[in-house]
Amino acid sequence: MSIDPTNISSAQDIMEYLEIQNEPTYLNLKPSSFLSTLFNKTSEIWDQKVYPHYTNHDTKHSMRIINTFKDFEPLYEWTNYEKIIFVAASLIHDIGMQYNEWKIDPTKFIADKYIFFRKAKYSEKEIRDAHELIMFELIWAQVEKKFDAIKFPPVLFDVNNEGEREAINMASYVAACHRGKKFLNLFVESGERGTYSQTTRDGDDFRPRLLAGTLRLCDELDGSIERFDNINKINLIADESKKHWLACAFVKGVEVRVHGLGLHNSGADLILTWQVPREINSQDHIKEKLRIKHFVEEERMNKISNEISRIQKFYVDCNEHHHFRKFKVKLHNTEPNDSVLDLGFDYFDIIPKLGYPMPGEKTIDDSQSEHSLESGQVLKSNSIETRNLLHVQLELLDWYERNKSVIHTVLVNGEHTNIFLQLRSLTMNQKLLRLISDYLYRLHRARKIDTVMGIGTSAIPIAVNVAYRLNCAATFTFIPKYSGGNIDEGSFEHNPSLKPEDNILIIDDVISGGRVARKIITQIEKNYDISKNVFYHQAIFRLGDRELQSNPDITDYFQIVHIPDVIYAPDELNCPQCQDGGEPWYEIDG
C-alpha cells in the first residue's frame, strides 16, 4: 500500500501507513502528538509557496519520500524510533525554501553560529543553495526558544518535552544531510563513539547515519512528473535548473524492487519509468525517443547513480559499511499517457541546446575529453567513463565488504594490519575482472599502450584481461616478500621481458604508500631509457591515506577505489611488536 500524496490529511495517516507504535518512547516522546504538531505546522509553512514555478518541495514531496522509505523496509527493518525521526526529517528538510516568507528579526541573530538568520531576505539562488542550512538554523533557534525573534514559522514541536526536543534536533541533522557535504562530513567526523553513530533507543537499533543516507537517496529518487504543480512554467526556471526540471518531466515514477533478502548481497533495483510525451511527430519518433532517453540517462540515472555512490562512500567513511546494499538503477519505458500534457514549448530544441546531442553525435566536450586522455589526465565528467567508474566502484566496495577480515595480523614482511584482504577471491571472479578490465580499457584506449604489466600475484589476471581488450602485449613481474623485497634481475620469473620502446601500463591490485610502485619503476629504470617511455600506474584498491612516495617516473597514477582512514592495527595485548610501540601500518598479501 502506498500513500496518495494528494490525500493525506493527518499525521495519523502516516503513522498507520508506517505502523508507528504510539507508546511513549525515548525521553517520553509521544509519537502521535509530536508528529501531528509537526505535520500541521509544516503544512502551514507551505501554505503560500514562495517559488511556485519550482518542482514542489512541500508535504506531497515529503509523502513520496516516506513512500520510498517504506519500500526499503525489507532491507533495513526500520525500528519505531527510526520511523518517527525519518518522518520528522522528511517533513522539515525543504522548509528552508520558504525563508523569504518567514518573519524573522535578524538583529536577534548576531551570534556567530547563526549565519543565515542575519538577513531577512535572500535571492532565489541563495535560498536554493543553502535551504538545508536555513532549516537547520530554524530548528536550532526554536530549540533555543528564540520565540521573540521568530514570528513565523510557528514552533514545530513541544519545547517543554525533552523527548520532542531531542527528536527534532536529531531529525534536523538527518534532514540537513539531504544536500551538500557539510553535514555528511559532520557525521563522519563524529567518530565511532559520536552522537550520530549507530546506537539504541528504548532497546531498538537507532541508526542516524543510515537515516541520513536513506533520506538523501529517497529525495533524489523523487524526480518525476509528480514534482510539478504547474508544468508550463519552465521559462521561469533558472538555466542551471532547466536540465533537472526537464529531465523530471520525462520520468513517470520510480519503483523500488528489493532482492536478495537474507543474503549478503541484498539490494534493490531502482526502476525509472520514463516516457515520451504524445506530441512527438511519428516520423521522427525513434530519433527523438533516443534523444530523450539519452537525456534521461544523463540527468536522472547518472545523478541517482552518483548519489548512491556518494552515500555508499559516506557509510564507508563512517565505518558503518554494514548499511551498504546493492542498488542498481534501471530504465523502463512506457507508452505516453495523459499525465504528460502539452508542455507549452518545443522541448526537442531545448534538449540539444542544454548539451545533449543524439548518441553518437560529437560535441566540443567529446573532443576535449579525447584531448584530455592523450595528455594523461583523468577525465572527470558526467560521461560514460564516470558511469562505468561508479558501477565498478560499487561492485568493488561490495566485494571489499564481503571479503575483508578484521583481525590483527602480522604479515610475512613483519608489518601489522587489522584488515586482511584475500585478493585471490577477487581474481577468481571473472565477472568482476571483466568489469574492471572494461573500465580500464575505456580509460586507456586512446593511449598508445604497448604492454600491460601486472604486479603478481593478484594483478596478473587483471593485466591479461586488459591486454586483450587493448590488443597489446601482456606480461607480469612481482616483488618477492621473502627476500626482503629485492628483485633478482637475472631471474626469469621476475623479468617482465619488456621491449625498450614499450609504453607500459602497470596494474597493481593494492597501493598504500607506493613502495612497490617505486621498486618496480626502479627495476624498469635500470633496463630501459625511461625518457622515451611513458608509464602509467593503475591500482584497484588504495588503502588508507598514507602519502604516496613521490616518483617522477610515474606520469600519472590513480586508483579505482579508495578506502580511506589509515587502518591502524589496534593495540594487541599479546603482540610484542605492538607492546614495543612500533608504528603499525599495513600491506595486503597478494
Partner 1 sequence: MIVIDPLRQRIHNGLRNGEENILNNARGNYGNDNDVRELLELYSEARMNIITSEPSYVSDSRKYIFIDLTPFDRVGKIEKIITQLNESRDVRPVIMYMSPAVDSQIKAIKTETPIICIAYSGIGNLIDITNGTSRLDNNLVIQVRRDIESLGIENNIVHFRRWIAQQRLTNMLIEGDGLYVPVKDQNSKTIIYTAGRYYKRMPNKMLVSSYIELKKLARNVEQLTEVAYEVILELACHFRRDIDAFDEFDVIVVPNNTALFIASAIQAILEKEVIPIDRLGPVPRLPRQRQKIKKMLGGKKCVVLEEVVATGNELDRTVLFLSDMDVEVQKIIAIYNLEVGKAMIPEAGKLISLCSPKKEINYVYRSD
Closest distance to partner 1 from the beta carbon of 430 (Å): 5
Span interacting with partner 1, options 87-95, 99-107, 259-267, 426-434, rule CB under 8 A: 426-434
Q: Binding to partner 1 by residue 433, rule CB under 8 A?
A: yes
Span interacting with partner 1, options 180-188, 394-402, 488-496, 572-580, rule CB under 8 A: 488-496
Closest distance to partner 1 from the beta carbon of 449 (Å): 12
Q: Binding to partner 1 by residue 412, rule CB under 8 A?
A: yes
Q: Binding to partner 1 by residue 586, rule CB under 8 A?
A: no
Q: Considering Cα of 27, then 28, then 31, then 36, what sign does the dihedral take?
A: negative
Q: Which residue has the cell 566536450?
A: 365
Cis bond upstream, residue 153 (ω within 30): yes
Amino acid at 250: F
DSSP string, 62-76: HHHHHHHHHHTHHHH
- Cα atoms found within 13 Å of the Cα of residue 150, Cβ hemisphere only: 23
Per-residue mark of binding to partner 1, 449-478 (x: CB under 8 A): --x----xx--xx--xx-xxx-xxxxxx-x
Interface size with partner 1, residues (CB under 8 A): 40
Paired sense of beta strands 103-104 and 150-152, if any: antiparallel
What angle do the packed helices 239-249 and 285-296 form, to 10 degrees? Answer: 120
Closest distance to partner 1 from the beta carbon of 477 (Å): 9
Question: Where is 504: in which H helix or E strand?
Answer: strand 504-511
Task: List the beta strands (DSSP E) in 241-372.
Answer: 251-259, 267-275, 326-334
Q: What CA–CA distance (Å, rounded) separates 560 from 541?
A: 6
Distances (CA, A) of 471 to 205, 318, 430, 468: 53, 41, 19, 5
Toward partner 1, which CB reaches closer, 200 or 497?
Answer: 497
Toward partner 1, which CB reaches closer, 185 or 413?
Answer: 413
Q: Binding to partner 1 by residue 490, rule CB under 8 A?
A: yes
Asked whether 148 and 108 are in contact (CB, 8 A), the reply is yes
Q: Binding to partner 1 by residue 555, rule CB under 8 A?
A: no
Paired sense of beta strands 103-104 and 251-259, if any: unpaired
Per-residue mark of binding to partner 1, 495-514 (x: CB under 8 A): -xx-----------------
Toward partner 1, which CB reaches closer, 280 or 474?
Answer: 474
Q: Binding to partner 1 by residue 434, rule CB under 8 A?
A: yes
Q: Binding to partner 1 by residue 430, rule CB under 8 A?
A: yes
Read off the C-alpha cell for 154. Answer: 510557528
Read off the C-alpha cell for 348. Answer: 526537442
Q: Binding to partner 1 by residue 107, rule CB under 8 A?
A: no
Toward partner 1, which CB reaches closer, 437 or 523?
Answer: 437
Burial profile 266-284: b = 16 or more Cβ within 10 angstroms, e = fewer: ebbebebbbbbbeebeeee
Closest distance to partner 1 from the beta carbon of 412 (Å): 7
Span interacting with partner 1, options 7-15, 216-224, 436-444, 510-518, rule CB under 8 A: 436-444
Span interacting with partner 1, options 333-341, 345-353, 431-439, 511-519, rule CB under 8 A: 431-439
| Residue among 441, 535, 536, 586 that touches partner 1 (CB under 8 A) | 441
Toward partner 1, which CB reaches closer, 166 or 438?
Answer: 438
Asked whether 416 and 409 are in contact (CB, 8 A), the reply is yes
Span interacting with partner 1, options 13-21, 262-270, 430-438, 539-547, rule CB under 8 A: 430-438
Closest distance to partner 1 from the beta carbon of 59 (Å): 47
Paired sense of beta strands 451-455 and 473-477, if any: parallel
Closest distance to partner 1 from the beta carbon of 335 (Å): 32
Span interacting with partner 1, options 124-132, 147-155, 156-164, 433-441, rule CB under 8 A: 433-441
Q: What are phi and psi of 30, to 5 degrees?
A: -100, 110
Closest distance to partner 1 from the beta carbon of 252 (Å): 32
Q: Binding to partner 1 by residue 187, rule CB under 8 A?
A: no
Q: Which of 377, 293, 41, 86 is nearest to 207 (CA)?
A: 86
Q: What CA–CA distance (Å, rounded) separates 449 from 467?
A: 9
Provide the binding-site residues for partner 1, judged by CB under 8 A. 412, 422, 424-425, 427-431, 433-434, 437-438, 441, 451, 456-457, 460-461, 464-465, 467-469, 471-476, 478, 482, 488, 490-493, 496-497, 589
